[in-house]
Amino acid sequence: MGNALTALEDQYFLINDNYGSLMGQCATDDQKAQLLKQLTTARTNYWSAINKVLHDDDPEVQSLTSQLNTLKLTLQATIDSGQNIAAVLGAIAQAVGVGTQLAALAISL
């Protein structure tokens, strides 16, 4: 598995593994819907990239993979710090947005 696909996989599982506790922190239905949407998008990004090729030697793929790996660390720190759910949802949205850009670069086999 290439670096880009691994980054997408890590992102999906980070959000999925923390989903229950994050959902419990959501104070509004809007926050719950936002969390579910981001989880679904992260899963879609990962699964759509599995059957495609991401060229790890492409400069744009490398840049987005690097950003995604950095955002993963930021997201994990945000979750671990116990920040309010709005901050966590913002970090998730930012990371999933980069993941979507990365998944869009995948080409079909």
Domain ranges of the chain: 3-108
To the question of pTM greater than 0.75 for the whole model, the response is yes
Return the closest-CA partner of residue 19 out of 79, 91, 100. 79
Segment 50-108, tens digit of pLDDT: 888 888 889 999 999 999 999 999 999 999 998 899 999 999 999 999 999 999 998 86
By CB atoms closer than 10 A (0-12, 13-18, 19+), residue 51 is: exposed
Return the closest-CA partner of residue 103 out of 1, 22, 3, 5. 5
Residue 106: HSE in the Cβ half-sphere, 13 Å Cα cutoff: 24
Contacts of 60 (CB under 8 A, 6+ apart): 105
